[in-house]
Amino acid sequence: MSDVPPAGFPPDSGQQWGPPPPTAFKRPSRWPTFAALAIGLIGVAVGFVGWFRPVPHDNPPPPKPTYTAQQVAEAKATVCAAYSKLERAVTVANAVPDGANPNEQLAAATSMRQVFDVFSRYLSAKVAEEPATPADLAAAVHKEVNSLQEGVVGYLDGLRNPDPEMRPLVDANTEAAETIRRLCK
């Protein structure tokens, strides 16, 4: 074979013809893989901490609303009118003549339970609808509502007003009713 390359050019002294010399393959560096794995694990750890960490609530509570004197007066009038309806309903339900037969007494007792149950919910709704209700009146109405509801449960359990278990409820109801009457004047 000749040392002359094809096309007739003279050989370059630094150029070799033939197969290239064997080269050693370098293994790729592993540090980028480990760096990516470390970054991924740090991201997962931060994600878990963020997921389960409680969010701080630094928000201040909203300010209490203020109401005009007219709004307070209207709310008080609405709640007092609702309480007046309760007193009228109790009077009607209690209208049992002396010496009434057992059926009339049972009807009156059942009617009274219904009055207490219905008006406990009615008074609660009226106070909730009227946020401008004075605090002392709202507290007295809530006390009245609780005593009415507990009283209905006691009556359904077979208790009567003179029973020792009912005395605290009757006293709480009487006290709340007197407070409401005084505040509604």
* The pLDDT of residue 63 is above 80: yes
Position 58, amino acid: D
Q: What is the mean pLDDT of residues 57-71?
A: 86
For the chain, counts of helices (H) and of strands (E) = 5, 0
Position 53, amino acid: R
Q: What does the pLDDT look like over 138-166, one tens digit per residue?
A: 999 999 999 999 999 998 888 888 899 99
Q: What does the pLDDT look like over 79-135, one tens digit per residue?
A: 999 999 999 999 888 887 776 788 888 888 888 899 999 999 999 999 999 999 999
- Written as six digits, the tokens of 138 are 């709202």
The pLDDT assigned to 125 comes to 96
- Written as six digits, the tokens of 108 are 């009156």
The pLDDT assigned to 73 comes to 95
Separation between Cα atoms, residue 132 and residue 72, nearest integer Å: 5
- Written as six digits, the tokens of 84 are 């007046």
* The pLDDT of residue 2 is above 90: no
Percent of the chain past pLDDT 90, that is, above it, reads: 50
The answer to pTM > 0.85 is no
